[in-house]
Amino acid sequence: MDAARLYAIAAFVAGLIITLFLAAYLTPRSWWRRPNARALLIMVVGAWGFGSLILYATHGPAAATNIASPAPAPPPIINAAANAAPADDAPTAGQAFHVHRDLNLRAAPGVHSARVATVQAGALVTPTGVHDGDWWQIKTTINGREASGWASSLWLRRSGE
Helices within the chain (DSSP H only): 3-26, 37-68, 80-83
Dihedral sign for Cα atoms in the order 46, 67, 78, 91: negative
pTM of the model: 0.43
Question: Which residues are CB-neighbours of 70 under 8 A, at least 6 positions away?
Answer: none
Residue 92: per-residue pLDDT: 63
Residue 34: per-residue pLDDT: 80
More confident: 152 or 90: 152
What domains can you pick out in the chain, each with its CATH number?
A: 3-68 (no CATH), 89-158 (2.30.30.40)
Question: Which residues are CB-neighbours of 105 under 8 A, at least 6 positions away?
Answer: 115, 116, 117, 118, 119, 138, 140, 142, 147, 148, 149, 150, 151
Question: What's the one-letter identity of residue 4?
Answer: A
Residue 71 has pLDDT above 90, yes or no: no
Q: What is the CA radius of gyration of the chain?
A: 26
Residue 90 has pLDDT above 80, yes or no: no
% of the chain at pLDDT higher than 70: 75
How confident is residue 82, by pLDDT bands cut at 50, 70 and 90? very low
Question: Which residues are CB-neighbours of 123 under 8 A, at least 6 positions away?
Answer: 98, 99, 103, 140, 142
Residue 91 has pLDDT above 80, yes or no: no
Residue 79: per-residue pLDDT: 45
Residue 56: per-residue pLDDT: 87
